[in-house]
Amino acid sequence: MDLQGIESLLGVSSPWVITDTQIHTQNLEIDVYIDFERGSKFPCPNCGTICSVHDSNFVRVRHLDLFEYRCYLNIKVPRTNCDKDGIKTTHIDKWSRKGSHYSFKFEALFIRLIREMSVLAISRELGEPDNNLWRLFRYHVKNKTIYSFDFNTVTRVCVDETAIKRGHNYVSIFTDYDTGHVLFVADGRKKEVFDLFFGWLWDNNGHPGNIELFSMDMSKSYKAGQREYFPHSEVVFDRFHIKKCLNKAINDVRNAEVKDVESLKKTKYMWLKNEKNLTTTQQEKLSEFILESSTNTAHAYLLKNSFDQLWCVQSHAIIPLMDSWIETALSLTLKPITKFINTINEHYNGIIMSIKTGVTNAISEGLNSVMQLARARARGYRNPQNFIDMIYFLGNPG
């Protein structure tokens, strides 16, 4: 094989030179041997002094395939003889990083593929052990993704959980509201995850005192964690979770009434959807219920619409209108609605902040859907840490 052509493809230049190539047709492999010129000197890895070579050893790394052949680079790694530091192994070749089984270009290919494929599928496609690929992936996440974070600029954080697998196995995800980048992932969803995030900020040159706001659901554990470790910050309860509680209340009203009102059967989603998403038939039927105004479900639905309007009013009118809405809702004396009002009273300040700021967990919810797609693609993750690393990776594109 033409060595000059291979040198050109690999960008080999002085002091490096290709000394041999071996083609193994039975295994469909090509070995390329890269040596350094006789008499070459290299810097000591400790002090940088240019030193002579004491001895050397070949290191074999996987490179990009050449046609249908797997290509391996056998790179001679020198040990320098330094007067100050003694004999030291130096790693200065431009094709691979120290300690890696793969060249830079092979690693880049793997990182591109993992955004679209599972590690197991990549392992089968490239013919590499999945354990080696997971080690490569963890290195990339730790040294390329997490290392690039700037925690000093983080002021608003979304907190949400996502399932590792079916059952009650969750991780909590802390996301920068302003950039959408995943900042921290912790196993579990207890209040201690806020303690871990607090320590993570300190360990990565951030400051917990800079966090002005948390957007999260109304879980007791998250509320307790925020109060204990970030008492100075404001809490915003996510609008989606607030609406979820109200929709449950409306459906409970319908379920209690459907036994006596035959026409309410099979109308569950008519009351829960946004009106613009209803079919023409559903809109007509809904209009009939509202015009008749004879069912508790219709009254509860009108309450839902007026509750939605609170997100459209000016800041100074939010509290008066909220208190007026609560008074009107209580007058209906519907048990599920009264239960929802108790939820409002328990989370009053966080709900008011949700309306005032317009901050939601939409970024976290979007990431959640991406992660569940990745989980389905991989058919689950046996190792929770692999799933956590995948969240960091997919939550920080580029």
pLDDT digits (tens, 9 = 90+) for 362-372: 888 788 788 88
Give yes or no: residues 180 and 283 share one domain.
Answer: no
- 231 and 373 housed in the same domain: yes
pLDDT of residue 1: 58
Question: Residue 6 carries which side chain, given as an amino acid letter?
Answer: I
Radius of gyration over every alpha carbon of the chain, rounded to an integer in angstroms:
30
Verify that 243 and 353 share a domain, yes or no: yes
* Residue 147 clears pLDDT 90, i.e. is over it: no
Q: Residue 380 — very low, low, confident or very high, per pLDDT cuts 50/70/90? A: confident
**Does 2 score more than 90 pLDDT?**
no
Average pLDDT of span 91-98: 86
8: helix, strand or coil: helix
Summarised one tens digit per residue, pLDDT across range 148-189 is 788 888 999 999 988 887 666 889 999 999 988 999 999 988
Our count of domains for the chain comes to 4
CATH number at residue 203: 3.30.420.10
Same domain, yes or no, for 333 and 257?
yes
**Same structural domain, 7 and 58:** yes
**Band of residue 225 on the pLDDT scale cut at 50, 70, 90:** very high
Rounded to an integer, the average pLDDT of 41-49 is 91
- 159 and 190: one domain? yes
- Whether 310 and 351 share a structural domain: yes
Q: Are residues 14 and 116 in the same domain?
A: no
Contacts of 152 (CB under 8 A, 6+ apart): 205, 206, 207, 210
Range of the domain at 27: 3-99
Residue pair 377/347 in contact by the 8 Å Cβ criterion: no
Shared domain for 329 and 347, answered yes or no, is yes
Is 382 a residue whose pLDDT tops 90?
A: no
3-class DSSP state of 292: helix
Indicate if 292 and 387 belong to the same structural domain.
Answer: no
Spell 359-373 as b/e; 16+ CB within 10 A means b. Answer: bbbebbeebbeebee
Could you give the percent of the chain with pLDDT greater than 90? 65
Same-domain pairing of 169 and 217:
yes
Q: Are residues 368 and 230 in the same domain?
A: yes
In this prediction, residues 288-317 reach a mean pLDDT of 91
The structure's pTM equals 0.84
The mean per-residue pLDDT over the stretch 208-223 comes to 94
Q: Is 258 exposed, middle or buried (0-12, 13-18, 19+ CB in 10 A)?
A: middle
DSSP H helices, 268-383, are 268-272, 280-292, 296-308, 315-331, 335-346, 348-357, 362-378
